[in-house]
Amino acid sequence: MKKLIDYKSLDFIKSRIDSYSSFIITTHQSPDGDAIGSSLGLHYFLKLIGKESKVINCNPTPNYLKYLDVNNEIEVYDKSKHYELFQKCDVIIVLDLNNLKRLVDVGDAVSDSKKEKIVIDHHIEPENFADYYYVDTEIASTCEIIWNLLSLFEQDYTIDTANAIYTGIITDTGSFGFDRTTEKTHLIASDLIKHGVKPHKINEYIYNSSSLASLHLYGYALKSIELFYNEKLAIMTITQQMLKDAGLGEGELDGFSTAPLRIDSVKISLTIVELKEKGVFKLSFRAKNGNPIRDLASIFGGGGHQLASGARVKETTYESLKTKIINEAKNYII
Ligand code: 5GP
Ligand code: MN
């Protein structure tokens, strides 16, 4: 019989943390503010309460989030150096993701490991690869869950943890603008500010740390927007040539994909990024309230949240992919 996902309470997760001493934390590919924020927020706290902790990720931290890694502690996975560590630590904590595929090569080290695995996340329908799960799909960010978890401990958290958690909340709520932002989100933000977070500083790091090349690329990406179905569907395209011209990598497009939603009539937006690997495309779906697009993303093998989902697809050409998506999308425009 297929084993069911073992959902646990945060009290249970706390009791596992209390009873073990060495931890590896890891998070998804192309890590965003919530991924890095939740990883470092928890990592700093574990060290503070006397645990051994390492953050080992499949991809490097993007530049605009490096300020959170104050002592340059995040390690980028290298099989020869890290595989054994995943087999030896007491517990592996996987944050802000719902399937092993999104751990890329770290996924093998995790699935081979016989050690305890705990997932803490806010995505719908996780894959069953871990021992214990704490999943809250109503909550806006994994960072908010980490704050709830830390509040169960007697030990107070430090400013480094506060900055990390605040960053994840800001990035995953669109600065308190997305639908899952609640009164509690603001109360947590208030507590983080009490612990020393300076909102204007975080805002500078996240939103005002672009390069000229990135801003130029953003301009070209905006120029590429095409509208379909009475201007309700927007498609933005970033090609390898555009990335080459800008001298940027495909991992340096954070924040681009919500832009087409700024158009009044647009309900659903799709950003297609042509990846280096021939015939492979990254899709980023974004939607306004009332137009859930997660099922649309899952048609293309992806997933995520109701209003922000993604996928990676292999397709012969950009044109055929676009035609397919336009055909499927018409069923999701409300
Ligand atoms: P983004 O478009 O920013 O890469 O991703 C938006 C959301 O979609 C992320 O929070 C993540 O949950 C989800 N997502 C992105 N790419 C994939 C993917 O390839 N597979 C799955 N299952 N979810 C994805
Ligand atoms: Mn998240």
One-character DSSP codes across 253-307: -TT-TTGGGGSTT-SEEEEEEE-SSTTEEEEEEEE-TT---HHHHHHTT-EE-SS
| CATH classification of the domain holding 203 | 3.90.1640.10
Rounded to the nearest 5°, which phi and psi values hold at 297?
Answer: -65, -35
List the 308-314 sheet strands across, edge first. Answer: 226-228, 233-238, 268-274, 280-287, 308-314, 303-304
The predicted pLDDT at position 316 comes to 86
Cα–Cα distances in angstroms (integers) from residue 136 to residues 3, 103, 122, in the given order: 20, 20, 5
Looking at the structure, tell me whether residues 76 and 89 fall in a common domain.
yes
CA of 211 to the centre of ligand 1 (A): 25
The predicted pLDDT at position 1 comes to 62
The predicted pLDDT at position 230 comes to 97
Q: Answer left, alpha or beta for residue 234, where phi above 0 means left and psi between -120 and 50 means alpha.
A: beta
Quick check: is 5 in a domain? no
Looking at the structure, tell me whether residues 194 and 223 fall in a common domain.
no
Looking at the structure, tell me whether residues 191 and 257 fall in a common domain.
no
Distance of CA 252 to the CA centre of its chain: 14
Whole-prediction pTM = 0.94
| CATH classification of the domain holding 268 | 3.10.310.30
Where among 149, 176, 207 does a domain terminate?
207
Ion ligand 2, residue ranges at CB < 5 A: 34, 96, 142, 172
CA of 262 to the centre of ligand 1 (A): 20
Looking at the structure, tell me whether residues 63 and 133 fall in a common domain.
yes
List the 91-95 sheet strands across, edge first. Answer: 75-76, 52-57, 22-27, 91-95, 116-121, 132-135
Looking at the structure, tell me whether residues 97 and 233 fall in a common domain.
no
CA of 102 to the centre of ligand 1 (A): 9
Q: Is the CB of 168 under 6 A from ligand 1?
A: no
> What is the DSSP secondary structure assignment for residue 252, as one 8-state letter?
-
Q: Which atom of ligand 1 is closest in space to residue 311's alpha carbon?
A: 19
Give which of 221, 293, 294 is closest to 259, Cα–Cα: 221
Tokens coding 300: 């293309």
Looking at the structure, tell me whether residues 203 and 219 fall in a common domain.
no
Helices (H), the chain: 10-19, 33-48, 79-88, 106-112, 142-150, 159-172, 183-194, 199-207, 212-223, 240-246, 294-299, 318-329
Per-residue model confidence as pLDDT tens for the chain (334 residues): 667 999 999 999 999 999 999 999 999 999 999 999 999 999 999 999 999 999 999 999 999 999 999 999 999 999 999 999 999 999 999 999 989 999 999 999 999 999 999 999 999 989 999 999 999 999 999 999 999 999 999 999 999 999 999 999 999 999 999 999 999 999 999 999 999 999 999 999 999 999 999 999 999 999 999 999 999 999 999 999 999 999 999 888 988 999 999 999 999 999 999 999 999 999 999 999 999 999 999 999 999 999 999 999 999 899 999 999 999 999 999 8
Looking at the structure, tell me whether residues 41 and 177 fall in a common domain.
yes
Tokens coding 52: 């051994």
Looking at the structure, tell me whether residues 148 and 297 fall in a common domain.
no
Looking at the structure, tell me whether residues 37 and 129 fall in a common domain.
yes
Looking at the structure, tell me whether residues 22 and 164 fall in a common domain.
yes
Looking at the structure, tell me whether residues 248 and 289 fall in a common domain.
yes
Quick check: is 2 in a domain? no
DSSP 56-92: EESSPPPGGGGGG-TT---EE--HHHHHHHHHHSSEE
Give the structural domain span for 260. Answer: 212-332
Give which of 281, 283, 276 is closest to 248, Cα–Cα: 276
Looking at the structure, tell me whether residues 171 and 121 fall in a common domain.
yes
Q: What angle do CA 309, 60, 277 make, to 5 degrees?
A: 65
Quick check: is 4 in a domain? no
Quick check: is 248 in a domain? yes
The predicted pLDDT at position 181 comes to 97
CA of 303 to the centre of ligand 1 (A): 6
Where among 207, 230, 263 does a domain terminate?
207
CA of 165 to the centre of ligand 1 (A): 20
Nearest protein Cα to ligand 1, atom 10: 304
How many domains is the chain partitioned into structurally? Answer: 2
Quick check: is 1 in a domain? no
If one residue of 307, 309, 313 were mutated to test the ligand 1 pocket, choosing by the most ligand atoms within 8 A of its CB, it would be 309
Nearest protein Cα to ligand 1, atom 20: 302
Q: Is the CB of 303 under 6 A from ligand 1?
A: yes
Nearest protein Cα to ligand 1, atom 7: 309
Quick check: is 3 in a domain? no
Tokens coding 53: 């902790």
Quick check: is 307 in a domain? yes
Where among 182, 207, 232 does a domain terminate?
207
